[in-house]
Amino acid sequence: MNRNRRADWRRVKGKLSYTIDEAARALGTHRNTVRHWVKKAGLPAMTETRPHLILGGNLVAFLQAKRASRKQKCGPGELYCLRCRASRRPVPGLLEYRPLTRTRGRLVGICSTCEAILHRFVSTRRLTAVAAEFNLQIGDHHESLADSALPALNCDSSTPAEK
């Protein structure tokens, strides 16, 4: 079922031009998705015509680039949504970092488009950069965890009173 929903450029004829509706139909995707690609994602379209026309060749190149970049990483401030099958911004304020090991953790958020769970594995080396990218307060989280995890180790009562 997932495979059927993936926009497949092999159904696009490079030498034809498509309206947004036609492109959506050829790809088996929603026309709003194609519209979004044109408006926000850099898919070139001939916008001086009505309806707008997309060259098949551009559409194929766009989908290939999109797939390639999807395999690498999302844009700044984005996580990959498995349900949308696209990079999405997480809902602000509902994003958190969950440590998995000493060197690795997971960013977990909620898709601002479909509300599915988003996540991305992050190595702790990149954590500072990622926190800045998502405007995430990881330092505070750490401190509060440390505070509660180490209750009375430095407590005066355990200090031997020898002088």
Binding residues (CB under 5 A) for Zn ion: these are: 81, 83-84, 88, 111, 113-114, 116
- Considering the complex, state which of residue 7 and residue 111 has its C-beta at the smaller distance from Zn ion: 111
Tokens of 87: 């990079």
- Considering the complex, state which of residue 65 and residue 116 has its C-beta at the smaller distance from Zn ion: 116
DSSP string across 74-132: --TT-EEETTTTEEEPBPTT--EEEE-SSSEEEEEEEBTTT--EEEEEEEGGGHHHHHH
In the complex, the smallest distance separating the C-beta of residue 111 from Zn ion, rounded to whole angstroms, is: 3
In the complex, the smallest distance separating the C-beta of residue 88 from Zn ion, rounded to whole angstroms, is: 5
Q: How far apart are CA 61 and CA 150, in angstroms?
A: 55
- Considering the complex, state which of residue 94 and residue 114 has its C-beta at the smaller distance from Zn ion: 114
In the complex, the smallest distance separating the C-beta of residue 115 from Zn ion, rounded to whole angstroms, is: 7
